[in-house]
Amino acid sequence: MLTRERTPFPWLCTAFVAVAVQLGLVGGLVQNADAGPYAPAAGQPGSTAIDKGDVSLQAWATAYEDYVAGAGVTGDWQTPEKALGQAVGDSFDIVSLGRGGSITLTFSPAMIDDGAGPDFAVFENSFSDLFLELGYVEVSNDGINFFRFPNDSLTASPVPGFGVVDPTDIDGYCCKYRQGFGTPFDLADIPQLSRATHVRIVDITGDGNFFDSDLDVIYDPYPTSGSAGVDLDAIGILNVASASTETPTVTATPDDTLTPTATGTPTATPMAAVGCAASPRLDCREAGKGVLVIKDKDPDRGDKLVWRWTKGAATDAEDLGDPLGGSDDYVFCLYDQSGLAMSATAPAGGQCQNAADCWKQLGQASNPTGFRYKDSELTPDGLFKLQVRAGDAGKAKALVKGRGELLALPATDALTADIVAQLVGGTTCFSSTFASNDVRKQDERSFKAIER
């Protein structure tokens, strides 16, 4: 383990803590009745935080590459060696990335393996559960082609320099948890890789110019200075693969590596939908966890739908059909006790942005793992993103996201449990059932439920 000096400016962190005390951020997270759909803060029921002393952590970063400090960070915080070795879990033993800065860490002779559960964890130095400076997380198996973890931000408005970010509103970012606790990442979310040798952290500046995987603006505390941006403590490996194990090299495409931008005017060619039955199907695959979020805004262009089906039952790739080159539409169906409440279709085939297919196959041509659908025009029923991924038990996943005026949302305050969300396509069906005690929020403008 490396020996490191304390910062010559301890007043900087003291000032942070003083403000945090005034804001009521120190001393644990106050439960929020309006919590989002994602995992809560460290120590809360359902949190995914990894303690720095967790015995599952098998290896730590051993070297760094390409440290680029962004704006707002002084030289006293630009010591990248402090991100190497085991997490310390204090406010001083870190390297700051600055606004938009980045760093890449390596782990030789170890490599990150796509094993059971999360495969590595990223540790930051936040002094509270709500002061969260976010960063994209990217992985590579050759140090050249990097793949970004899917991410989602539901923070609706700008966050001031000492403002707060609810951890239940963010997913797929470094760094979601307070110091001493790591944010876990699973290589299963990167279908191009089964092992990784490099992890790159890219700071997100919360000024409205950074976007999540669905092109929604990401907000985090801005502006900050002195030690602005992600303050990286360490990266630890939970599933280790031997460096001697052969690792295939994957060539990235621009769609895999670039931050999405809201440009271009896509078109879609709808085809016949498979349609929703009058009542839920009984032959669907169930999941270990389901999340359903509906936001009914005024005007309707702000409407949102999110459904996640994770830790799913074993699913074979051939069960997913062929929405790319065939005629297998996918349709999302939502039911309550009165029957079918809404439906939305992602048509098979179709042409989208830059004349590319709306559907894209995931994985290799010889070993497909699933399909992803994107349509910024939101036709015909308001779906923006849909993803289905085959896998063994606990690894299969499905995701549906919609937004805007074309979504035919149900009256959120009228939905009565049990509520069933199903995605039908190919020869299979994915299902989540939300009982009354799964409902976290329900009023005339929103609905939120988490099935565990």
Task: Flag whether 272 is in a domain.
Answer: no
Q: Assess contact for 183 and 173: CB atoms under 8 A.
A: yes
- pLDDT at residue 356, rounded to an integer: 55
- pLDDT at residue 87, rounded to an integer: 97
User: What's the mean pLDDT in 46-51?
Assistant: 94
Least confident range of 35-39, 120-124, 163-167: 35-39
Tokens encoding 371: 């399909």
Tell me whether strands 170-171 and 120-124 are parallel, antiparallel or unpaired: unpaired
Q: Assess contact for 410 and 265: CB atoms under 8 A.
A: no
Q: Does 392 have pLDDT greater than 70?
A: yes
pLDDT band at residue 394 using 50, 70 and 90 as cut-offs: confident
- pLDDT at residue 257, rounded to an integer: 36
Are residues 253 and 325 located together in one domain of the fold?
no
Residue that terminates a domain, selected from 242, 257, 272: 257
Are residues 88 and 201 located together in one domain of the fold?
yes
String of DSSP letters for 136-197: EEEEESSSSS-EEPP-EE---S-B-TT----GGGEES-BT-S-TTEEEEE-GGG-TT-SEES
Task: Flag whether 267 is in a domain.
Answer: no
d(CA 95, CA 70): 12
The radius of gyration of the chain from alpha carbons, rounded to an integer in Å, stands at 22
Are residues 225 and 328 located together in one domain of the fold?
no
- pLDDT at residue 17, rounded to an integer: 44
User: What's the mean pLDDT in 1-7?
Assistant: 35
Task: Flag whether 280 is in a domain.
Answer: no
Which CATH number belongs to the domain containing residue 64 in this structure? 2.60.120.260
Are residues 199 and 298 located together in one domain of the fold?
no
pLDDT tens-digit series, residues 58-94:
999 999 999 999 999 999 999 999 999 999 999 999 9
Are residues 193 and 340 located together in one domain of the fold?
no
Cα dihedral 399, 404, 410, 411, rounded to 10, equals 130
pLDDT tens-digit series, residues 244-283:
444 444 444 333 433 333 333 233 333 333 689 999 999 9
- pLDDT at residue 212, rounded to an integer: 87
pLDDT band at residue 10 using 50, 70 and 90 as cut-offs: very low
Q: Does 19 have pLDDT greater than 50?
A: no
Are residues 120 and 206 located together in one domain of the fold?
yes
Task: Flag whether 120 is in a domain.
Answer: yes
Task: Flag whether 266 is in a domain.
Answer: no
3-state DSSP call for residue 388?
A: strand
pTM of the model: 0.61
State what percent of residues in the chain have pLDDT above 70. 83
Residue that terminates a domain, selected from 210, 237, 257: 257
Are residues 243 and 321 located together in one domain of the fold?
no
Task: Flag whether 221 is in a domain.
Answer: yes
Are residues 133 and 248 located together in one domain of the fold?
yes
pLDDT band at residue 351 using 50, 70 and 90 as cut-offs: low
Are residues 230 and 291 located together in one domain of the fold?
no
Q: Does 384 have pLDDT greater than 90?
A: no
Question: In which element (H, E) is residue 111 found?
Answer: strand 110-113
Are residues 343 and 240 located together in one domain of the fold?
no
Q: Does 182 have pLDDT greater than 70?
A: yes
pLDDT band at residue 353 using 50, 70 and 90 as cut-offs: low
Are residues 167 and 19 located together in one domain of the fold?
yes
Are residues 91 and 209 located together in one domain of the fold?
yes
- pLDDT at residue 352, rounded to an integer: 66
d(CA 427, CA 408): 25
Domain residue limits at 124: 10-257
Percent of the chain that is helix, strand, coil (3-state, to 5): 10, 35, 55
Residue that terminates a domain, selected from 257, 272, 300: 257
- pLDDT at residue 213, rounded to an integer: 79
Q: Does 1 have pLDDT greater than 80?
A: no
Largest CA distance in the chain: 67
Q: Give me the chain's average pLDDT, please.
A: 84
pLDDT tens-digit series, residues 199-253:
999 999 999 999 887 778 899 999 998 999 999 999 999 999 864 444 444 444 3
Task: Flag whether 190 is in a domain.
Answer: yes
pLDDT band at residue 361 using 50, 70 and 90 as cut-offs: confident
Domain count, the chain: 2
Task: Flag whether 210 is in a domain.
Answer: yes
With tokens 């025009």, the residue in question is 377
Q: Does 374 have pLDDT greater than 90?
A: no
- pLDDT at residue 32, rounded to an integer: 52
pLDDT tens-digit series, residues 406-429:
999 999 999 999 999 999 998 899
